[in-house]
Amino acid sequence: MALAGSVRTVRVLGLDPGLRHMGWGVIDVAGNRLTHVADGTINTNEKQDLATRLTTLHDGIMEVIRLWQPDEAAVEETLSNKNPSSTLKLGMARGIALLSAAKAGLPVEQYLPMLVKKSVVGTGHAEKEQVQHMVKMLLPGFQRSTADAADALAVAICHAHHAQTRRKVDLAVLGVRV
């Protein structure tokens, strides 16, 4: 934990769960400064069985963690939709995201989609295009690779804002001036 006057860089992995396409994004956070590090999508083959697809997601997340060495992870929570089968499969993909990050020893936080949108755009009912535009504005140098990767970066940005506040509160409780 950083002492007053020093700024520690924290590397955050954001994950946007999906069974077909799981977006991931890595940012560095130093105080109020956000820096794009990397992003991408882990894709599965729809023709494969569910267990194989979940294994592909797990292996892909573990490779991202190995390559980019994040300090923390953030995963978007999933909401139910009209198709119960799709909701269940999406929940399984989310479970893989949570499990993989936790097994790698990362602290993992979860954020509702409305909170992610509000943190990045300023309104919880923003359209996907607005979120992607703001991610590009907040992370200079980011060139949108896929919508899933941009969504994952939005999750990482949301976490950066909320975790920074949490760290300040923790330091204040310890009596450290921030």
Task: Based on the residue annotation, tell me whether 16 is a catalytic residue of this protein.
Answer: yes
Q: Beta strands of 51-165 (E only): which ranges?
A: 72-76, 108-111
Is 16 annotated to bind a ligand? Reply is yes
**Does the annotation list 77 as a binding residue?**
no
Annotated binding residue 109: no
3-class SS of residue 33: strand
Active-site residue, 76 included = yes
SS3 69: coil
Catalytic residue (choose from 63, 148, 151, 170): 148
The CA distance from 82 to 102, in Å, is: 30
Catalytic residue among 39, 76, 151, 170: 76
Active-site residue, from 16, 39, 72, 151: 16
- Residue 148 known to be catalytic: yes
Catalytically active residues are 16, 76, 148
- List residues forming the annotated binding site: 16, 76, 148
- List residues forming the annotated binding site for Mg(2+): 16, 76, 148
